[in-house]
Structure 1
């Protein structure tokens, strides 16, 4: 995975995920995000693959962008409009983020080897926007 910064779309896997979101039919984009969340939350206590985590973080950023206080997704995010996302995705996004930062998580391990605190702060901020919006 090529990573150039700590943002949700600052890596190759998230950029590829954006393309998958763009390629989904207009009425199915939320399903792509939901699928990313469920891939992560469905791992239970098993080791969580970094690529799955990256996609869930990117999906959470897309949901949070539609919440009060959420930041717009710009570079490397989907180019096509998402439409209004279901409010129910907020809780799924929170659950996925919680799993990404819980052991055993490959992405967490990778970030703890470098800028882990800054990355975790970004995840906490993303989670707070989603939770404050009624997740």
Structure 2
């Protein structure tokens, strides 16, 4: 994974996945990415699937209006403008996916273990998803 930032879309894998949102008007692509992570124990989740799940959760948080548009994600901004607000069920799925994707015993966490920015970004994302 080529990464230039600890932000959810600051890497090649997430940036490539974002193009799947082009032309979409519903949350199915996002839901599918989240389910992969939410349905897999963190220790069994490969780093690419975990990266995509974090990016998908970021899309949900943006859909809620809780995270401003950021660099590297024009496709996400356009998708959020087209799609309806995410359901409470999707928000819950996003939070579960982030928990699994960032699991301490997971492959992705091992790659980022010494980067406090990555941990801070994931805490920010979880806070955006769990704010009432």
Same fold per TM (> 0.5)? Answer: yes
2:50, 2:102 within 8 Å by CA — same for their partners in 1?
A: no
2:45 aligns with 48
2:47–2:107 Cα contact (<8 Å) kept: yes
Structure 2 CA distance for aligned equivalents of residues 60 and 73 of structure 1: 14
After TM superposition, give the deviation of residue 109 of structure 1 in Å: 0.4
Match of 1:19 in 2: 19
Q: 1:68, CA displacement in angstroms?
A: 4.7
Distance in 2 (alpha carbons) for counterparts of 1:58 and 1:37: 9
Q: 1:34-55 CA distances to partner (integer Å, 9 max, x unpaired)?
A: 1111101111365210000111
Q: Aligned Cα RMSD in Å?
A: 1.9
1:66 is the counterpart of 2:66: no
**Corresponding position: 1:120 with 2:119:** yes
| 1:69 CA drift (Å) | 3.3
Count of paired positions: 128
Name the counterpart of 1:57. Answer: 54
Distance 1:3 1:110 in 2: 11
Partner of 2:5: 5
Q: Does 1:106 align with 2:104?
A: no
C-alpha change, 1:40 and 1:85, in structure 2 (3 Å) is: same
1:67 CA displacement: 2.4
For the residues of structure 1 that align with 2:110 and 2:130, how far apart are their CA atoms? 25
Point out where structure 1 has 5 or more consecutive residues left out of the alignment: none
Partner of 2:129: 130
How far apart are 1:73 and its partner, in Å? 4.0
